Structure 1
Amino acid sequence: MLDIGSRSVHLKIADLVPGGPPEPVATLKQPVHLAEATDRHGVISQDAIRRLVGAVTESEAVVAAHQVDDLVPLATSAVRDAANRNTVLAAIEDATGVRVRFFSGEEEARLTFLAARGWHGWSAGQMLLLDIGGGSMELACGSRTEPAVALSLPLGAGRLTRHHLPDEAPVHKRDVARLRTYVRSVLMEATAELRAQPAPVSAIATSKTFTQLARLTGAPKPTAGAPGRSTLARSDLRKWVPRLAARSDAERARLTGISASRAHQSLAGAIVAETAMELLDVRQVTICPWALREGVLLDRLAALGTPPLPAVAVPRARNHTLHRLHTVS
């Protein structure tokens, strides 16, 4: 799978064999920083388009070297919602021959829910999923493999930072309050159906945003081969919002769990995560290492005739966050 996100182009190659989980083969991650290169009108800059074309070209060379049978080139909201997305897609296809597709936001929510269900198994019961990307936030809930409700909202951490927060720190309390009010209004309007569902047995969060916030608030660092079980408590997260607001990007990057590349949008990510958890009455979320890419792989496995879920939760003896797509027929 070739995943074109708001920050990077991420190629993951995996063997898909009916009856087993996706087996990792190779991975390549290249920064392109589309979010930072998108102006307030939603236009991705020409420099960023050139970086993107170069990253796809390099990924294609890796795909050829591994003799990949089935490449899924997928763009998420950074390209999907861009005002010049047709120009971006045409530039990629003209230079590489790769025709990039994109899912609707609701389909992204469905596939991410499938990944979380695959990781946690049936024991998760009625499950609520939260996922914060650079351009959008996906929410889903349900008790089966397919969610009963799947939503995508324009509440990505990068998007909110660009449109609602000042460039320089410290960020004033009034700016934090305005952003929290905006996030709450969007959530209130869009999540009535979600909030009408039965109370979840499990609240699951995916994405780098939630993973880094969990580390920031004290969760242990996952290790290769033993991802562990990280959680994020709303009460702990709320304490960190004013602390992030008071710090510059460089100071945030020195905090536990916050990477330099995501420091600028970490405040917005914390605000939307904390506000969503409050509105949905979630005190704590469990961090899931599987997300959209793994959902696509599981969907492909189902197409090969493999049941979408095992009878119990997927074993956690290895790190499954490094998958890419290489199907075996």
Structure 2
Amino acid sequence: MRETGLPSTASASAQAAPELQMNPGVASGALDSRHIYAALDLGTNNCRLLIARPEHRPRRRSNDSLRIIDAFSRIVRLGEGLGKAGRISEEAIERTIAALEICREKMDARGVTRARLVATQACRSAANGDEFVERVRERTGLQLEIIDRETEARFAARGCGSLADPAAESVLLFDIGGGSTELVWLTRERRSENGAYAFRAWTSLELGVVTLAEHFGGRCVSAETFAAMAQQVRETLAPFARRMASERRCPRFHLLGTSGTVTTLAGVHLGLERYDRWRVDGLWMSDDDATRAILRLRDMDFDERVANGCIGPQRADLVLAGCAIFEAIRALFPAQRTRIADRGLREGMLLELMEADGALTRRV
């Protein structure tokens, strides 16, 4: 596992960042809460930071062992126009660096001593992805790590897998991003007393809310356009669906979604005037609930989506593309219910960092 160096101040961008060494050999079960941990996820659409410390609670599992100290999220649209130009634009670079400077200041203020800072699909696919990472290092002192798709899927599964129904024999986790969508088939480990799940299979689609909306349009989405978006996703996802067709699905099989799309849908389903993470994270939605929420969103025009407290101006042109991706997943992997996770990649990174330090008791 790679770890980032953190210079002492946000303005020290020209300093060489000292390497923070980890000790993955610490014995399992040994607790060490001296460190403050940070995880940063720079995606095609969002820049998200989470700062936490370990909190050992023997009777709880996974994410309940994190005590969140600080958080930051900003829509930066790093991948805006990337599909056509093949490069990250100068405007997107400046927007993103401004957000990363805030992240840097927060990490300094909180005394972060362990961190993992990752970039995903936009940097993977852009011709100037490595150049962008170097500019970030020079301007902010932060060393981003461009991770591959499997690592991204693994972190997402680690971060929200605790929300899976422990009585289900298999679960399909999906993470709808800005530039890609990851799907992970989880199976319950045999002889597991705590309902732990194993990473059975995965896939990553080069389709996300930004890429789909830029191709089809996101402001005014007709029924025909929505159907075309969903059809493209179904065609792209079909090989994975055929591959998983023989996997056992018990009556408690369900979907587990982590993304702005599903959390927005949950907020619309609940009729929230403003988004409330505490009401959304862990929410169960039936298949009918999901259908009604999607139809409600599709009935809104652009201005109504902008005015909705769970969507707003920054997501109004992207949310229907996300709904089309969700529709395709539901069509190919039918399930009676979906659990909503307002957690994922960052929590997965934090848990792995803490476990490698021996700061958490490892699960059996």
**Above 0.5 in TM-score?**
yes
Is 1:194 matched up with 2:244? Answer: yes
What pairs with 1:54-65 in structure 2 (closer than 5 Å)?
54-65=98-109
- Which residues of structure 2 form unaligned runs of 5+? 1-38, 59-64, 190-196
Q: TM-score, normalised by structure 2?
A: 0.75
Match of 2:339?
286
SS of match in other structure, 1:148: strand
Tell me the distance in 1 between the aligned counterparts of 2:183 and 2:288: 21
What pairs with 1:52-201 in structure 2 (closer than 5 Å)?
52-120=96-164, 122-142=166-186, 143-144=188-189, 145-163=197-215, 165-166=216-217, 168-169=219-220, 171-199=221-249, 201=253
Tell me the distance in 2 between the aligned counterparts of 1:241 and 1:120: 23
Is 1:3 matched up with 2:41? Answer: yes
Give the CA deviation at 1:104.
Answer: 1.5
SS of match in other structure, 2:173: strand
* 8 Å Cα contact 2:275-2:310 kept in structure 1: no
Shift in alpha-carbon separation, 1:78–1:308, aligned structure 2, 3 A: farther
Tell me the distance in 2 between the aligned counterparts of 1:147 and 1:178: 31
* 8 Å Cα contact 2:78-2:88 kept in structure 1: yes
Shift in alpha-carbon separation, 1:81–1:19, aligned structure 2, 3 A: farther
Tell me the distance in 2 between the aligned counterparts of 1:276 and 1:178: 14
Q: TM-score, normalised by structure 1?
A: 0.82
Tell me the distance in 2 between the aligned counterparts of 1:185 and 1:241: 21
Give the CA deviation at 1:72.
Answer: 1.0
Match of 1:231?
284
Is 1:262 matched up with 2:315? Answer: yes
Shift in alpha-carbon separation, 1:31–1:177, aligned structure 2, 3 A: closer
Match of 1:299?
352
Shift in alpha-carbon separation, 1:39–1:204, aligned structure 2, 3 A: closer
- Which residues of structure 1 form unaligned runs of 5+? 312-329
Match of 2:73?
29
Structure 1, 101-110 or 232-241: larger mean CA deviation: 232-241
Shift in alpha-carbon separation, 1:19–1:223, aligned structure 2, 3 A: same
Give the CA deviation at 1:191.
Answer: 3.1
Tell me the distance in 1 between the aligned counterparts of 2:57 and 2:270: 37
Tell me the distance in 2 between the aligned counterparts of 1:168 and 1:205: 24
Structure 1, 147-156 or 228-237: larger mean CA deviation: 228-237
Tell me the distance in 2 between the aligned counterparts of 1:153 and 1:277: 15
* 8 Å Cα contact 1:219-1:232 kept in structure 2: no
Shift in alpha-carbon separation, 1:177–1:31, aligned structure 2, 3 A: closer
Could you report, residue by residue, the CA deviation over 1:29-51 in whole angstroms, capped at 9, with x for unpaired residues? 33422243535233221011122
Could you report, residue by residue, the CA deviation over 1:164-187 in whole angstroms, capped at 9, with x for unpaired residues? x13552x33332222222111111
Shift in alpha-carbon separation, 1:39–1:192, aligned structure 2, 3 A: closer
Tell me the distance in 2 between the aligned counterparts of 1:216 and 1:113: 25
Equivalent in 268, 271, 288 of residue 216 of structure 1: 268
Q: Whose RCO is larger (CA < 8 A, sep 6+)?
A: 1
Match of 1:319?
none
Q: Number of matched residues?
A: 308
Match of 1:314?
none
Structure 1, 75-84 or 12-21: larger mean CA deviation: 12-21
Give the CA deviation at 1:90.
Answer: 1.6
SS of match in other structure, 1:187: helix
Shift in alpha-carbon separation, 1:8–1:125, aligned structure 2, 3 A: same
Give the CA deviation at 1:53.
Answer: 1.9
SS of match in other structure, 1:271: helix
Shift in alpha-carbon separation, 1:217–1:9, aligned structure 2, 3 A: same
Is 1:48 matched up with 2:66? Answer: no
Structure 1, 5-14 or 215-224: larger mean CA deviation: 215-224
Shift in alpha-carbon separation, 1:33–1:256, aligned structure 2, 3 A: same
* 8 Å Cα contact 2:263-2:280 kept in structure 1: no
Q: CA RMSD in A?
A: 2.7
Give the CA deviation at 1:277.
Answer: 0.9
User: Which amino acid is 2:181 matched to?
Assistant: M
Tell me the distance in 2 between the aligned counterparts of 1:12 and 1:216: 25
Shift in alpha-carbon separation, 1:96–1:104, aligned structure 2, 3 A: same
Equivalent in 224, 240, 257 of residue 205 of structure 1: 257
* 8 Å Cα contact 2:256-2:340 kept in structure 1: yes
